[in-house]
């Protein structure tokens, strides 16, 4: 089944990997043919222009990106190309489909894998509501619904815990800001799964004060961009959380529990 609202950008030529090595967030080394990685192009200030999944091919790479981000991403990659031998452009010959078998999505084991096939073999588009339900349940935010260009840092959308940022690579656009935030432990925002009967996109989540905003919803489950330092205080004091005057609760993966615990210890001076 064809995944909705995706475009494919083809990069081909002998300098393709070199261009990506100096511009994007994900690891380039040890990238096997047919391997898929998750990454993004950032602004110099460290905010996400567009994130994507990218497949290494015999000719270069195939970048799977939200359709509304594709044109801008092509334009920016061409600016960084300089004299490198890389052809860059959107291809209309292929489409993204959900793949039930094979390797899963690199962002989450709870997401189905993808394949890239000729448009004539792609089938009907998956209903957007169905895909939204799948990805929200997996805790994976998406460009176009949960954020857009220049709105969030990679850590806001959990790119670092989903393997989308290689802090050890030589360089990438926005690396200085991203690395400083990670190194100094200044991560104060995360996207978390939230449950509640009255969730609404754009609605605030409150305790005594706002701690976050719902960014997308499927039924009684949603994603919210949350100030984790404020959430740490709420949980420590066992305060009630609500959205639209109805109670809500968060799912906290192991990494989020560890970060919140560290914030609590920092606040108490332990």
- Structural domains of the chain, ranges and CATH numbers in brackets: 6-178 (3.30.1360.120), 188-268 (2.40.30)
Residue 123's pLDDT is 92
In 25-169, which residue ranges form alpha helices assigned H by DSSP? 70-81, 128-137
Residue 235's pLDDT is 93
Single out the residue of 140, 127, 126, 144 nearest to residue 68, CA to CA.
144
Lookup result for tokens 């359709």: 67
Cα 128 to chain centroid distance, Å, stands at 17
Residue 270's pLDDT is 54
Residues 6+ apart with CB under 8 A from 157: 48, 51, 141, 146, 147, 191
Single out the residue of 178, 210, 214 nearest to residue 198, CA to CA.
214
- Give the tens place of pLDDT for each residue, 69-105: 999 999 999 999 999 999 999 999 999 999 877 678 9
Q: Give the C-alpha distances (Å, rounded to integers) separating 39 from 17, 49, 215, 237, 259.
A: 14, 11, 21, 37, 22
- Give the tens place of pLDDT for each residue, 215-246: 999 999 999 999 999 999 999 999 999 999 99
Residue 46's pLDDT is 96
Residue 264's pLDDT is 87
Residue 80's pLDDT is 96
Residue 186 has pLDDT above 80, yes or no: no
Contact 161, 255 (CB under 8 A): yes
Average pLDDT over residues 17-26: 97
Single pTM value for the model:
0.95
Which tokens hold the place of 177?
Answer: 């800001």
Strands 204-206 and 210-218 turn out to be: antiparallel
SS3 128: helix
Average pLDDT, the chain: 95
- Give the tens place of pLDDT for each residue, 95-149: 999 987 767 899 999 999 999 999 999 999 999 999 999 999 999 999 999 999 9
């Amino acid at each position: 089944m064809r995944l909705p609202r995706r475009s494919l950008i083809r990069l081909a030529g002998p300098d393709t990997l070199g261009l990506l090595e100096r511009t994007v967030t994900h690891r380039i080394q040890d990238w096997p043919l047919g391997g898929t990685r998750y990454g993004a192009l950032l602004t110099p200030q460290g905010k996400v222009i567009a994130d994507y999944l990218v497949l290494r091919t015999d000719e270069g790479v195939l970048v799977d990106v939200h359709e509304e981000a594709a044109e801008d991403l092509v334009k920016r990659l061409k600016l960084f190309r300089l004299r490198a031998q890389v052809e860059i452009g959107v291809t209309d010959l292929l489409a993204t489909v959900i793949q039930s078998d094979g390797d899963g999505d690199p962002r989450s084991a709870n997401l189905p894998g993808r394949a890239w096939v000729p448009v004539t073999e792609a089938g009907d588009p998956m209903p957007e509501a169905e895909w939204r339900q799948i990805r929200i349940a997996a805790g994976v935010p998406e460009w176009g619904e949960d954020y857009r260009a220049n709105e969030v840092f990679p850590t806001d959308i959990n790119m670092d815990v989903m393997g989308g940022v290689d802090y050890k690579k030589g360089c990438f656009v926005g690396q200085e800001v991203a690395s400083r935030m990670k190194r100094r432990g200044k991560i104060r925002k995360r996207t978390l799964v939230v449950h509640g009967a009255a969730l609404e996109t754009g609605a605030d989540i409150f305790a005594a004060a706002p701690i976050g905003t719902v960014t997308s919803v499927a039924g009684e489950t949603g994603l919210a961009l949350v100030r984790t330092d404020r959430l740490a205080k709420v949980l420590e004091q066992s305060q009630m959380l609500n959205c639209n005057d109805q109670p809500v609760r968060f799912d906290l993966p192991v990494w989020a529990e560890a970060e919140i615990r560290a914030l609590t210890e920092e606040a108490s001076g332990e």
